Structure 1
Amino acid sequence: MNIGKYTITIAELWGFFVGMKLAVEMSIPYLVVESDSSCAIHFLQSAVVENHMEASLVRSIKELMTRPHRVVIRHVFREANQCADALAKHGQIIEKGIR
């Protein structure tokens, strides 16, 4: 999906949100989420900072994370996440919205 021009961290958070929503809709009981964004992972593993511009998005993701029986979030290096990197680059050239 193309969300427009935002920071990499916000793009990662939107990826978490869309992925978690899909996992909940599919009733996936155990989920491992990998990201190369240590900043986005930090937001999800810490208390929500209310004055952060994406606090509501982080709260929504945390709410979705309570629905599967277990969610594990792991940091991976960009080199180990080539598929996600290629999809992110492709998302920059498509029209805005979910495809």
Structure 2
Amino acid sequence: MDQGGKRAGSRRAAPRKRSLSLRSAFLLTLGLTVCVVAWGYLVVAAIDFGAAARGGESEAWWFLALACLGAAACLFTGLLLGARLLRALGLSEPRAPRLPGGRRASR
């Protein structure tokens, strides 16, 4: 079956080639470094606040909770930035492409 005509051709665009500029790689690396350093600082602060809270300072429990939340947010952001950097450098493969049509078409 020949599908000629003026609109014949691929229905999908050619996949874009990912290019990583030096500036974007530097920014991703810098952001990752800042997140890891902040995470380490917040973990040490949470340990200190925990010791103070167990010593009887009731305000330290609030600071402990805030330090734990901040450390979790920094770790999560750092992991996301690290994954993005690995993918941009080509060291990690993206997920398998999804088939058009969803679940029903794959049956």
Q: TM-score if structure 1 supplies the norm length? A: 0.27
Q: Which structure's residues are more often helix, by fraction?
A: 2
Specify which structure has the bigger relative contact order, considering alpha-carbon pairs within 8 angstroms and separated by 6 or more residues: 1
Q: TM-score if structure 2 supplies the norm length? A: 0.25
Q: Which structure's residues are more often strand, by fraction?
A: 1
Larger Cα Rg: Structure 1 or Structure 2? 2
